[in-house]
């Protein structure tokens, strides 16, 4: 399983909303909204990644939720 689909499954399982996508530089970007405890659990998962992925770094920027999402998808 690739990293984007790992994020998709973890976020949906946690009841989070937003999106995940590949960036042109090869990194993966996601925007996720939901309860803080679920977001923190997802953040732990993002650091681990799917087997056999090697996660070099996870950059986090906390913001106020927009409320514009009803589900989680791959953009």
Tens digit of each residue's pLDDT (9 = 90 or more) over 59-74: 999 999 999 999 999 9
pLDDT digits over 3-32, tens only? 999 999 999 999 999 999 999 998 999 999
Domain with residue 18: its CATH number is 3.30.70.100
Report which of 34, 52, 51 is spatially closest to residue 43, judged by C-alpha positions.
34
Structural domain for 54, as ranges:
3-74
Residues 4, 12, 21, 41: which is the catalytic one? 4
Give residue 53's pLDDT: 85
User: What would the mean pLDDT of 33-44 be, rounded to a whole number?
Assistant: 97
Number of domain units in the chain: 1
pLDDT at 1 > cutoff 80: no
Active site residue 21: no
Tally of CB atoms within 10 A around 12: 13
pTM over the 0.75 mark: yes
Residues 12, 21, 22, 68: which is the catalytic one? 22
Active site residue 68: no
């Amino acid at each position: 399983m690739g990293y984007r689909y790992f994020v998709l499954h973890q976020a949906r399982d946690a009841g989070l909303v937003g999106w995940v996508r590949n960036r042109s530089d090869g990194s993966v970007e996601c925007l996720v909204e939901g309860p803080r405890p679920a977001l923190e659990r997802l953040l732990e998962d993002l650091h681990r990644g799917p087997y056999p992925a090697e996660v070099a770094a996870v950059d986090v920027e906390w913001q106020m939720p927009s409320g514009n999402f009803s589900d989680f998808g791959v953009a």
